[in-house]
Amino acid sequence: MVAILRSEGWYKFRRNPLSMVGLGLVTLIVLLAVFAPLVAPYPTHAGAFVDFVNASQPPSATNWFGTDLIGRDILSRIFFGYQVSLVLSVVVLVIAVPIGVGLGLVAGYFGGWIDYLIMRVTDVFLSIPPLVLAMAIMGFLEPTLLNAMMAVAVMWWPWYARLAYNLSRSESHEGYVLAAEVIGAPKWHVLVREVLPNCLPAVFTKITLDVGFVILIASSLSFLGLGVQPPTPDLGSMVAEGAQYLPDMWWMTVFPAVAILIAVLGFNLLGDGLRDALDQGR
Amino acid sequence: MSSTFFKTIGIRLWTSALVLVGVSILIFCIARVIPGDPARIALGPNATQEQVELLRERLHLNESLPVQYFEFVRELFQGDLGMSLYTNRPVTTDIGDFLPATLELVVFAGILMVMVGIPLGVLAARYRDKLTDNVVRLLSLLGVVTPTFVWAVFLMLVFAFYLEILPVAGRLSQGVDPPPGVTGFYTIDALLAGQWSTFGNAFSHIILPATALALTGIGQTARLTRASVAETYDKPYVEMAQAYGFSDRRIASKYALRPAMIPSLTIMGLDFAAMLGGAFLVEAVFAWPGLARYGVETILHKDLNGIVGTVLVISAFFLIVNMLVDIAVAWLNPRIRLQKRWAG
């Protein structure tokens, strides 16, 4: 049964050209990030490399996307920037998703005061604009990659709590949950073995979409100087650095900016495609 | 007007008040519980122990946490958010000075979002799966996936640097005096004072930042409006209107759009409020002297009171907007507005 659904979903997914574009972009970005040290033209330029002779060069045959203020190859730094962005996204989601989904499931399934408590706390987190909450947290922490991950994770979990809450509330009225309860299965068993697996497809779809949006928020943070610090290659800080030298040295800003856009776009198309495919398959 | 309508509003007011208390606790916790001495962080490594002690005293940092929170709320109710360590002025004065610029920006962006996003969405739904639809969907997708600061930089590059038709930064050109302050919105103040050239100047300055800020919201609004209008086009009452031979225009505006507006309105409220987050990025790019810029400065200078004040004001605004949207939704939804008449 599962196999049939999967193949139907895959068929649906494959038929949509935009979903395939998304899959292609995501595959490309992941490969570039993983193999950055091998595919980057100048792997040493990822760190605190300095070459003043070749500083601020426009795009050329040797440096396709030009060089930055201290002579580092922008293309190479974009590949390593993808690496940093992807690691950040994955860590943020690995922290935020289990916390959010766990709390949301418990609130939705058990109801009562525990529901009220968890969901009001969630409301509090959701009533501070996302970027502002992350910035406020960064305001009291050292600007490092790890702290940026923590700040973004703190602002991210409530969205998963909301999602899991709605899912588990509707699932807990389904026949199979009642059946499990009637035969005397313990509550925790029902929650973990019956409710949770049926919420997972929606959660995974959201995760795919969110990889892109975490990259977007994290790059916004570092654009403001509140995220990853140099010399770590980061797309947001590259845009910010180059923006000071517009319009003359446009390549320092435009290429990293487009790189962010492509990453968010890719994950978005892939996520949308997955959602459509799974919806239809069910 | 039904009792259900007022009951909805009453419940909403109560939860908003509760959430606002929660927000104040959360911000307080972020500011005080995170490891490290806020006074030491604010003063930097070169401050003497005495200076740090003095500041700790002033910020009530030597009291227990509940006492600190109580002090914080007591001062808050007196309209006192403490002194900004960055500007050396009361935080409330700073916010009073910087908030109007941000509000002006956000209001302009909000108007753009509604005026552009909804028509685009309706257009796409009306010509579903045709070329128009695909173009709108592609554009709105681009709007959503492009970070606000990237929009800001691109718009600046194209319209301010290459085409040179709009100013690069700030609220007014050098040498132009701000209009007499009534609302703090330069465009409206200039109109009120009858200063046409100042109005033109302020207006030309706000176009690029407001557009950069609005584009994400325009994309979201267009996508959502398209989806919900397309859904209502499949409803029996639209089919009925078509069977009656009503014009396409009448069906689009009267039968398909109105019920479709309810879900869109909620999301637009969220998007509008989220613009306060985007404002941080736009103000940074366009050197817009607003609250968001002040917020970034306080964060970079580790100014405890400044950060807490800014976040609190922004969250309060966020809550108020969402509350107003909920009331508007309750008002628009005949099921809530007219419930009494139905019941009997």
Q: Given a cut of 90, is residue A70 above it in pLDDT?
A: no
Chain B residues whose beta carbon lies within 8 Å of the beta carbon of residue A85: none
- Which pLDDT value is given to residue A260? 93
| Cα A98–chain centre separation | 15
- Residue B6 has a pLDDT of 80
The answer to whether A260 touches A222, Cβ cutoff 8 Å, is: no
Please list, in sequence order, all residues whose beta carbon lies within 8 angstroms of the beta carbon of residue A141, skipping any fewer than 6 positions away.
A147, A150, A151, B34
* pLDDT at residue A128 tops 80: yes
pLDDT of residue A3: 59
Flag whether pLDDT at B74 surpasses 50: yes
Work out the burial of residue A70: count CB atoms within 10 Å of its CB; fewer than 13 is exposed, 13-18 middle, 19 or more buried.
middle
The secondary structure of residue B37, as a DSSP letter, is -
Among chain A residues, CA nearest to B302: A139
- A268:B141 CB<8 A: yes
| A247: preceding bond cis by omega (within 30 degrees) | yes
B38, A140: Cβ pair inside 8 Å? yes
- Chain A contact set for B302 (CB, 8 A): 139-140
Kindly tell me if the per-residue pLDDT of B38 is higher than 80.
no
Distance from CA of B32 to the nearest CA of A (A): 9
* Of B147, B273, B298, Cβ closest to residue A220: B147
Mean per-residue pLDDT over chain B, rounded: 82
Which whole number is the average pLDDT over B135-159?
90
Residue range B207-245, pLDDT digits in tens = 899 999 999 989 988 988 888 888 888 888 888 888 888
What type of residue is B69? Y
Instruction: List, in sequence order, the alpha helices (H) in chain A.
Output: 2-15, 17-34, 36-39, 74-110, 112-126, 130-139, 145-171, 175-182, 187-189, 196-223, 235-243, 251-281
Which amino acid appears at position A124 of this protein?
A: V
Q: Given B23, B141, B299, which is nearest A124 (Cβ)?
A: B23
Establish, for the pair of chains A and B, how many residue pairs have beta carbons separated by less than 8 Å. 134
CA-based nearest distance A51→chain B, Å: 27
Residues of B with CB below 8 A from A138's CB? 299
B2 band by pLDDT with thresholds 50, 70 and 90: low
pLDDT at B269: 80
Nearest to B32 by CA among B71, B61, B74, B73: B61
Cross-chain Cβ contact B311/A132 below 8 Å: yes
Lowest mean pLDDT among A230-234, A276-280, B106-110, B244-248: A276-280
Q: What pLDDT does residue A282 have? A: 41
Using the predicted structure, report yes or no on whether residue A281 has a pLDDT greater than 60: no
Peptide linkage before B179 cis (omega within 30 of 0) = no
Would the pLDDT of B30 be above 60? Answer: yes
Q: What is the pLDDT of residue B212?
A: 92
Minimal CA separation from B176 to chain A, in Å: 25
Residue A218 · residue A227 · CB < 8 Å:
yes
- What pLDDT is attached to residue B343? 44
B-chain residues within 8 Å CB-CB of A236?
A: 149
Q: Kindly report which listed range (A174-183, A205-214, B333-342) carries the lowest average pLDDT score.
A: B333-342
Question: Can you name the residues that pair with B83 across neighbouring β-strands?
Answer: B90
Question: pLDDT-derived band of residue A261, with 50, 70 and 90 as boundaries?
Answer: very high
Tell me the C-alpha distance between B317 and A129, whole Å. 10
- Tokens describing residue B251: 């069906």
- C-alpha span between A12 and B36 (Å, rounded): 53
Q: What mean pLDDT comes out for the span A44-60?
A: 78
Q: Testing the interface with A: which of B20, B33, B149, B158 to mutate, by most A Cβ within 10 A?
A: B149
ipTM score of complex:
0.85
Q: Using a CB-CB distance cutoff of 8 angstroms, which residues of chain B are in contact with residue A137?
A: 30, 34
Provide mean pLDDT across the span B160-188.
80
pTM higher than the cut 0.90: no
Contact between A92 and A149 under an 8 Å Cβ cutoff? The reply is: yes
pLDDT (tens digit per residue) in A101-125 = 999 999 988 888 999 899 989 988 8
Is residue A205 over pLDDT 70? yes
Distance from CA of A218 to the nearest CA of B (A): 10
Instruction: Please tell me the distance from the alpha carbon of residue B230 to that of residue B329, in angstroms, as a whole number.
Output: 20
pLDDT, average across residues B12-28: 85
pLDDT for position A6: 61
Q: Residues 6 or more apart from B30 whose CB is under 8 A from it?
A: A136, A137, A140
- Which H/E stretch holds residue A58? none
Chain B nearest-CA distance from A282, in A, is: 20
Between residues A270 and B192, which one has the greater pLDDT?
Answer: A270
Least confident segment among A195-209, B38-52, B98-112, B290-304? B38-52
What is the band of B342 on the pLDDT scale with cuts at 50, 70, 90? very low
Residue of B145, B281, B302 lying closest to A261 (CB–CB)? B145
User: pLDDT band at residue A4, thresholds of 50, 70 and 90?
Assistant: low
Average pLDDT, chain A: 85
Q: Which sign does the torsion angle of CA A263, A233, A235, B297 carry? A: positive
Confidence of residue B260 (pLDDT cuts 50, 70, 90): confident
Provide, rounded to the nearest whole percent, the portion of chain B with pLDDT above 90. Answer: 9
Give the mutation candidate from A131, A155, A250 for the B interface (greatest B CB count, under 10 A): A131
Residue B328 reports pLDDT greater than 90: no
Alpha helices in B127-256 (DSSP H): 131-145, 148-155, 186-193, 196-233, 236-243, 248-250
